[in-house]
Amino acid sequence: DAGVIQSPRHEVTEMGQEVTLRCKPISGHNSLFWYRQTMMRGLELLIYFNNNVPIDDSGMPEDRFSAKMPNASFSTLKIQPSEPRDSAVYFCASSLAGVRGFGPGTRLTVL
């Protein structure tokens, strides 16, 4: 079985550009989570979905961040416009009944 798939694995962009991170959860999982990892703040939960519906987005740092889950097999996290302080590793995770998997992460660098 494939695990959580994230793309791209690495993204380098310039300040002000739009960035879209993608996630394909494990088939059959009904919850999806986006995390951000930085040296300063550790692992932060940004937003999570259940059955494609956003449940809690209180962790989204600013209005520049948005996330969607148009169907059970795909989610995006978008940053527009991006800023250097958004540089981090972004992880996607999915779960079903306590069984969860993490993606390999997308390392974002905003210059």
Partner 1 sequence: GDSVTQMEGPVTLSEEAFLTINCTYTATGYPSLFWYVQYPGEGLQLLLKATKADDKGSNKGFEATYRKETTSFHLEKGSVQVSDSAVYFCALSDSGGYNKLIFGAGTRLAVHP
100 in contact with partner 1 (CB under 8 A) = yes
27 in contact with partner 1 (CB under 8 A) = no
104 in contact with partner 1 (CB under 8 A) = yes
Give the amino acid at 77: L
105: Cβ–Cβ under 8 A, 6 or more apart, which residues? 6, 9, 37, 89, 90, 91
d(CA 110, CA 79): 11
Q: Is 63 exposed, middle or buried (0-12, 13-18, 19+ CB in 10 A)?
A: exposed
Q: Are strands 88-96 and 106-110 parallel, antiparallel or unpaired?
A: antiparallel
Candidates 11, 33, 46, 75; binder of partner 1 (CB under 8 A) is: 33
Candidates 23, 91, 108, 110; binder of partner 1 (CB under 8 A) is: 91
For partner 1, which is the closer residue by CB, 65 or 91? 91
43 in contact with partner 1 (CB under 8 A) = yes
Q: What is the contact surface with partner 1 in residues (CB under 8 A)? A: 31, 33, 35, 42-43, 45, 48, 50, 55-56, 91, 93, 95, 97-98, 100, 102-105
